[in-house]
Structure 1
Amino acid sequence: MPHFKTHLTVLEQSASLYASSPAFKVPRLNPETQEILEWHSISYSQFLADVELFAKFWTQRFSADGVPPRSVVGVWLGGMTYLDAIHIYSIARAGYVPQFFSLRLPNPEVIFELLAKSNGKALIYDSSFADIVHTSPVPAHIAIDARNVSIADVSLPPVAPDVNGSDTLMIFHTSGSTSGRPKLVPCSYAWWQECLRKSALATIPPNPHRQDVTTWMYVVASLPSSQVPDLFSFRGSLCHIGQTFMYSGFIQHGSCAIQISSQAFPSSELMDMITRCHLNRLVQFPTYLTAHIRESRHNPKLLAMLQGLDEIFYSGLMLSSDDEDWILRHGINIRNCFGSTECGAMLLSTPGKSVPLVPMEGTSYGFFPINSSLDGPHQNANARTLELVILSDSGDCPDPSLRAADGHYHTGDLFLELPGGGYVSRGRDDDWIKSENSLRCDTKAIEDNVRATCADLVSECIVVGNGRPSPALFVEAADPNMNEERLKKDIIRRTRHFHSRRYLHERISSTNFILVVPRDTLPRTASKGNVRRRAVEDTFKTQLDRMYGVAC
């Protein structure tokens, strides 16, 4: 059987080529002020040695539990710190199949259900969950720092084992919940090898004459998991495909990733990373990049530093037209990436521009008019909305369980084709919105639950919050004389169980995120009378800004 390239074979090779080069720079914080005292470097050789050590630790532990090799092992971690990275890589190195859960999914019942669905045999969890995993149906262990533990010198499987391309290497989950729980995204060896090829293309160092130093995507470093706020971004976690994809590209080039102190790190920290860590490529979601762009408008030193970066790489959401204009007018090098959990990165813009987006080299994609057959004739679609479809012969077409009946993967992502070639994103052809950190939220599921549990209270409702930290619910009351606060509390009470099973970024668990409006106030379509989600966001922007604490 063939040997497949994985992130483990890449790490082993990079540890040989770049042994003493820093793989990570981790901030050491003042425990009282949280000020960054210094940036500590961890070399490629050290990272590999720690991964091997932890792999032996888990091999020893799971052998004692009777968990056979190649078993699925749940990994319920923040995925944010160097210690998390060691655990995540070492589980695969020990020959197990990691199934990743992030701290954004705090309900253990959902974790256990997802583990059962994949026939998981064990669970590694963050220490902050010690009090709620006692009902685990499989052996469960806290993710401890094994560097301080006596470990037997057990043998490990080959870094590149003999496997079939269709064998599962690891399992992720979609960032939005469907039917009360996220959807499994199995990743095969062949699929991941193709993603490694794409990640190498997406992360080619802009300057080949120096080590590429970039930011880890929104990591919470040196912060206990129990102190992580609900709305922290976990898309940058190694428990999600986004960070796993990007970091696998970084290590192929011997790049260094800086673990930032928080998701919304201030511009002063960015300037410090440029000065002390020699940061040359900033990787960030637009929601947080906007803060630096805004600061640069009246901070000439920051503007000069942004102009001096080799690249600002962003993904997940589109930049505002104002920020886009500022960036272009001031010669800031920027690049846009479009991707998903199911496929990794799919489209890239050319360096220095955010549009147009073009399919990554070596892929097989189609852009088809919505509601049209894939076998239909190609027509001039320059002014038409097209759906991105990953064709079955593309190496990154996801697991067959995720494909449509025609064998292709229909992303639901819509684009306009530009006259000069390439595409610009036009959102999704479904009822999902993206939160400020690019995590998806199933609005229709929330609306359906409100209608099912609150039919006597609500005549109409809609969920909005595109680009916001969490969703907001607009309702038209069935009884116009009912007290608004009473109505909000009743809705929260009746929908509490439903939201308890959802990701934190999908929940509406406070009356602060419910807005009651008079009947027939919500904007509707002229033909069917459906409430228009985007029109609601535009009409009530001032109220939404106030709701989320944004200065109007």
Structure 2
Amino acid sequence: MIKTHLTVLEDVASKSARSAAFRIPELDTSSNRVKSWTTITYEEFYRDVETFAKYWTQILGSNNIPQRSIIGVWLSGFLYTDVLHIYGLSRAGYVPQLFSIRLPNPIVIYELMRRAGASALVHDPSFSNILGDSPYFTHAAEDVRRLDLQHLRLRSLPDVTSEDLAFVFHTSGSTSGSPKLVRANYRWLSSALEKSHHLCYPCSPQRQDVTVFMGSMCHIAQNFMFLGTLQHGACTVQPTVLKYSPEELKDMVTRCGLNRLNQFASFLGNQLRASRQDSRLLSMLISLDDVVYSGLPLPREEEQYAYKHGIKIRNLFGSTEVGAMLLSGGCERNLSLVAPLPGTSYRFVPTASKSEQNQSAHRSNAELFELVILSESPDCPDVSLRHADGHFHTGDLFQEVMSGFYLYRGRDDDWIKSENSLRCDTKAIEDNARAMCGTLIAECVVVGTGRPSPVMFIEPGLEMNQDKLKKDIFRKIRLFHSRRYLHEQIVSPDMIVVVAKSTLPRTATKGNIRRQAVEEMFRLQIDDIFARVR
């Protein structure tokens, strides 16, 4: 029998029925602050999953949608009930195709469903008013825990092989206006269970670990981390918002017993900076058994601050296509270096030949290696995502600082990662702006690493009023951006910055605009833009 998220849940629910599986916030309506944290046990969680499975069996079955059909799931992914819908659909025998709530355009959802061969769409109730002309059967994802479904029979799960689909994810950045499908089969899921088991191994056998949502269950990061939490019977706290405040973090430690913190680097950096003026917060961060960050490199200053104060920090490197790949903590001489997780088969391939390395004027560029996931690695993604050689080329570059230990050195393409660690295709935005705006733009570059959304810097092609120029450009690119993830959208003319010709820093040889140099050169101006829109 294949080990899956469902077999793990059944096993944990039988062994640790009364243990807490979730802590859910109850808000005070007058202050909007957490009044209390409700406990959901593993017994309740397992029962709720079966209730939701019965519900979806009835709804989808009555519409002649057979088991093993792909069902689109368009939810926030931040709520306990979202977990129930995802796991409930799996238990009903369907294959969830998970959409981020950050995809705001239903046309893109329909296109992705068509490409995946999906049969229906389960959606957040707030989307009902924009799905009236859907070409698919749609149904709102309501909380059905209070419904009496005892009379309904729960069907047996259909037999599957390791090559059958378990989930369909999507890359967090858009390519050609649309994310890529990431088909995850049961072989991949088995590998994810093994890797997450290692990553989330209990800190102490004497007590239950308590961790926290790091993102949406509709994205691979939280979905993957929850597999590890689940296997070890740990408890997951649902915060009020993803970017929760230092005060809420302290509350989760005090009242929920949080001892393992998982956060994207941008959000963890906020906690570390706040702890410089908050000794109680610093003390709590030091007391945590494990602090894992992912998505983006943590600024060196923040990393060193954490190490200096004894915060038990680890860097987890991963992607939507593969899940977690590399983890720090195994090299005592340099705690920021990462190495492959056990049970994987990777190769670090030099990006330049020996002769090219010897001729390079920049030593930092001479010893870079691309991370390649070999076809025999159990976490190698679907063949549709692999290179012609049969392997998956990540495009992520590393420097081997010590034998077997690597330092991340960025990507070989034109992607940046936003504040919530989702990827943004800057080249597609730049190409669209050039195509749509013609003579209005002489040159442009998109920046925004670690920011909520991108900012576009342009050198004008015509002499005209800057405000009018920005509004004209925004009007011409608006349709393109309406189809993209929220973290990829130029959301207003304020996100367009006009600078004088030849202002943007360029490379000496080819004259290409240096994206990172633009980020540094205009950092204060970018800070001011986002300070105004918050």
Give the TM-score category using the shorter length: over 0.9
CA contact (8 A) 1:382 1:419 kept: no
Within the candidate set 512, 526, 532, 1:530 is matched to 512
CA contact (8 A) 1:522 1:531 kept: yes
Question: How far apart are residue 14 of structure 1 and its match?
Answer: 0.7
Structure 2 counterpart of 1:344: 323
Distance 1:112 1:371, change over 3 A: farther
1:358 aligns with 2:339: yes
Structure 2 counterpart of 1:370: 351
1:540 aligns with 2:519: no
- For structure 1, the residue ranges without an aligned partner over 5 or more in a row are 218-235, 374-379
1:196 aligns with 2:193: yes
Within the candidate set 225, 235, 260, 1:246 is matched to 225
1:305 aligns with 2:284: yes
Question: How far apart are residue 35 of structure 1 and its match?
Answer: 1.2
Question: How far apart are residue 158 of structure 1 and its match?
Answer: 3.4
Give the counterpart letter for 1:283 in structure 2.
N
- TM-score (normalizing by structure 2): 0.95
Within the candidate set 496, 513, 517, 1:514 is matched to 496
Distance 2:148 2:96 in 1: 24
- Give runs of aligned pairs for residues 277-356 of structure 1, distance below 5 A: 277-350=256-329, 354-356=335-337
Distance 2:105 2:228 in 1: 32
CA contact (8 A) 1:172 1:184 kept: yes
Deviations 1:483-541 (A, max 9, x none): 11111111111111100110000000201110000111111111111111111111111
Distance 2:398 2:476 in 1: 38
- TM-score (normalizing by structure 1): 0.92
Question: How far apart are residue 308 of structure 1 and its match?
Answer: 1.0
SS at match of 1:181: coil
Structure 2 counterpart of 1:221: none
Which region of structure 1 is more displaced relative to structure 2, 276-285 or 244-253?
Answer: 276-285
1:87 aligns with 2:85: yes
Distance 2:75 2:278 in 1: 38
SS at match of 1:454: helix
SS at match of 1:305: helix
Structure 1 counterpart of 2:73: 75
CA contact (8 A) 1:51 1:86 kept: yes
Structure 2 counterpart of 1:215: 212
Which region of structure 1 is more displaced relative to structure 2, 288-297 or 244-253?
Answer: 288-297
Which region of structure 1 is more displaced relative to structure 2, 291-300 or 401-410?
Answer: 291-300
Structure 1 counterpart of 2:412: 429
Structure 1 counterpart of 2:164: 167
Distance 2:519 2:271 in 1: 25
Question: How far apart are residue 542 of structure 1 and its match?
Answer: 1.4
Distance 1:164 1:441 in 2: 35
Give the counterpart letter for 1:41 in structure 2.
T
Within the candidate set 128, 131, 136, 2:126 is matched to 128
CA contact (8 A) 2:21 2:45 kept: yes
Distance 2:17 2:86 in 1: 21
CA contact (8 A) 1:461 1:475 kept: yes
- Give runs of aligned pairs for residues 128-167 of structure 1, distance below 5 A: 128-151=126-149, 153-158=151-156, 161-167=158-164
Structure 1 counterpart of 2:359: none
Question: How far apart are residue 372 of structure 1 and its match?
Answer: 6.0
CA contact (8 A) 2:352 2:366 kept: no
1:476 aligns with 2:440: no
CA contact (8 A) 2:213 2:242 kept: no
Aligned-pair Cα RMSD in Å = 1.8
1:180 aligns with 2:159: no
Distance 2:232 2:49 in 1: 19
Structure 2 counterpart of 1:494: 476
Distance 1:167 1:371 in 2: 38
CA contact (8 A) 1:267 1:292 kept: yes
SS at match of 1:528: coil
Distance 1:511 1:382, change over 3 A: closer
Within the candidate set 89, 99, 102, 1:101 is matched to 99
Distance 2:288 2:245 in 1: 17
Question: How far apart are residue 383 of structure 1 and its match?
Answer: 6.0
Distance 1:414 1:51 in 2: 41
Distance 2:395 2:193 in 1: 24
Distance 2:294 2:532 in 1: 22
CA contact (8 A) 1:56 1:153 kept: no
Question: How far apart are residue 152 of structure 1 and its match?
Answer: 6.1
Deviations 1:454-493 (A, max 9, x none): 11100000100011111000000001x2111111111111
Which region of structure 1 is more displaced relative to structure 2, 282-291 or 123-132?
Answer: 282-291
Task: List 4+ stretches of structure 1 deviating above 4 A.
Answer: 351-354, 380-383
CA contact (8 A) 1:55 1:93 kept: yes
Question: How far apart are residue 69 of structure 1 and its match?
Answer: 1.2
SS at match of 1:149: coil
Distance 1:47 1:94 in 2: 15
Question: How far apart are residue 419 of structure 1 and its match?
Answer: 2.9
Distance 1:522 1:132 in 2: 41
SS at match of 2:458: strand
SS at match of 1:438: coil
Structure 2 counterpart of 1:458: 441
Question: How far apart are residue 264 of structure 1 and its match?
Answer: 2.2
Distance 1:191 1:381 in 2: 35
Distance 2:277 2:414 in 1: 39
- For structure 2, the residue ranges without an aligned partner over 5 or more in a row are 355-362
Within the candidate set 373, 398, 406, 2:381 is matched to 398
Aligned length: 523
Structure 2 counterpart of 1:55: 53
Question: How far apart are residue 382 of structure 1 and its match?
Answer: 11
Give the counterpart letter for 2:190 in structure 1.
Q
Distance 1:128 1:372 in 2: 54
CA contact (8 A) 1:383 1:417 kept: no
CA contact (8 A) 1:381 1:417 kept: no
SS at match of 2:194: helix
